[in-house]
Structure formats: structure tokens, C-alpha cells
């Protein structure tokens, strides 16, 4: 898809650099605009306060866990192990856990079966569906996100939200300092990771994690589109470093 595009609105400077250096895109075609997915993060804490997400017992953990598609058969047991670790650390401290529904990857039926068991326990609350803005507001109101969702890698850093990333679903993705990786789904390992995540200093995380751009990325993307020159040079693509010969 990248090679078919005439202009690129990259989420980060690193993404923009890779388009030029690794894919050979001409640098004038690439702009660092931020990601439209970040839009829902603007004002998320204020929305969370209005919705009452921040009220209630603390710490507040959000548990969002998908099936590992390479091992869908163990998705249920992985979820139960994380829930047991949350009981040991979060609920034992007087906190609460919000369970969110997984996506529909293979093995999701095993996760839903585990949720049906866990959601009846004291301290757990299951929310089947959250609009994107409310999801961001819940994260902004929380003390930790646990599971294996990409939200922990892509969105939580902008909220300086501690994350426990379990398993290998997000393997290979760049991490900010807010992420505590736990390769194992063994309960003790998960409990240790949750405890470490809750001990992270969020003020220090704000210093080390990326900040949202001053303006929403959609404004930067619109600016790129407004400046598009529909001339022939725009549509005749060449690789960066070519000498211009056909």
C-alpha cells in the first residue's frame, strides 16, 4: 500500500524515516502528521471525569485481552491467569477491574467463556461495548491497562498510563517506558508485572513518553491534502536515490 501512495502522513518521525530510508519514498512525499487514532485522546481525562470513570475504588485496572492467533486454544486459560493475578494484586489492594470484550480473532470464543466466569466475581465489572471516545476516557481514568491490546503500545503512552503487555501478540513493536512486558502467562509472573506497573511514577512517565501534538492530527493531514499539487511530478513516482533515468 505504501508504494502505491503518492503522499504519506506518517504517525511518527521514525515512521517517516523508514518510508524514506527503507522503502525509498521521496522525502517530499512524506509528512509527519500524527495518527488519526490519537484524536480520541484529546480531552480524555476530562471526559472520564464527567462520565464518573475516575470515581470509585482504586487502583482501577482495565483488562483487555485478545486471543494469540498462533495459540487460540489457550486463550481462555491465559485470560483466567491474568484475572487471578489481578485478584492477587489489584483487588487485594481494594481496587477494581473493568473487563472489556476482545476482538473476534480465532480463539475469541474461549476468551468470552472465561469472561463469563470471571465477571461474576466481586471487584470485576464487564463492559461489552465502549465507543472509541469513552474507551480513551476510561484509559485516562485508570491506573493500569493489562492484557495484550495494541492500545497499550500505541495510545497508552500519550496518557502516561502504565501497561502490562502479556505474551507475544505485540512482539516487535516499539515500546515507550510505560510498558512492562511479561512474556509468560504464568500467574506469578503476571502478578509481578502488575505490581511493577502500579509502582511506576506517572510524572516520570510523562517525561519519557511521547506527548500529543498541539493540534489534532486530522488538521495536519488536511493541510497536506490542501497543498497537493496535481501536476505530473506528483503522479510520476521514483525511488529516493535513483539518478532519474527511466
Distance of CA 54 to the CA centre of its chain: 20
- Residue 197 to residues 45, 139, 240, Cα–Cα distance (Å): 20, 14, 43
Euclidean distance between CA atoms 216 and 213, whole angstroms: 7
3-state secondary structure at position 93: helix
Euclidean distance between CA atoms 217 and 36, whole angstroms: 6
Q: 10-residue block means of pLDDT along the chain (246 residues)?
A: 90 94 93 94 96 94 95 96 98 98 95 96 95 96 97 96 97 94 97 98 96 93 90 76 50
pTM for this model (two decimals): 0.89
Amino acid at each position: 500500500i505504501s508504494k502505491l501512495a503518492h503522499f504519506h502522513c506518517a504517525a511518527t518521525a521514525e515512521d517517516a524515516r523508514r518510508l524514506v530510508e527503507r522503502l525509498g519514498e521521496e522525502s517530499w512525499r512524506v509528512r509527519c502528521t500524527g495518527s488519526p487514532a490519537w484524536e480520541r485522546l484529546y480531552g480524555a481525562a476530562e471526559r472520564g471525569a464527567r462520565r464518573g470513570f475516575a470515581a470509585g475504588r482504586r487502583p482501577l485496572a482495565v483488562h483487555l485481552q485478545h486471543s494469540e492467533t498462533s495459540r487460540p486454544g489457550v486463550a481462555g486459560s491465559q485470560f483466567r491467569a491474568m484475572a487471578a493475578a489481578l485478584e492477587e494484586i489489584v483487588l487485594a489492594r481494594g481496587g477494581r477491574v473493568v473487563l472489556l470484550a476482545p476482538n473476534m480473532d480465532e480463539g475469541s470464543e474461549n476468551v468470552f467463556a472465561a469472561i463469563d466466569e470471571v465477571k461474576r466475581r466481586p471487584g470485576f465489572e464487564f463492559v461489552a461495548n465502549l465507543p472509541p471516545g469513552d474507551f480513551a476516557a476510561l484509559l485516562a481514568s485508570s491506573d493500569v491497562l493489562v492484557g495484550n491490546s495494541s492500545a497499550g503500545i500505541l495510545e497508552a503512552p500519550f496518557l502516561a498510563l502504565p501497561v502490562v503487555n502479556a505474551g507475544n501478540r505485540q512482539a516487535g513493536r516499539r515500546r515507550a517506558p510505560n510498558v512492562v512486558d511479561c512474556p509468560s502467562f504464568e500467574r506469578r509472573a503476571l502478578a509481578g508485572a502488575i505490581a511493577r506497573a502500579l509502582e511506576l511514577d506517572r510524572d516520570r512517565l510523562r517525561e519519557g513518553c511521547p506527548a500529543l501534538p498541539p493540534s489534532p492530527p486530522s488538521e495536519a493531514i488536511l493541510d497536506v491534502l490542501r497543498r497537493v499539487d496535481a501536476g505530473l511530478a506528483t503522479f510520476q513516482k521514483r525511488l529516493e536515490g535513483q539518478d532519474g533515468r527511466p
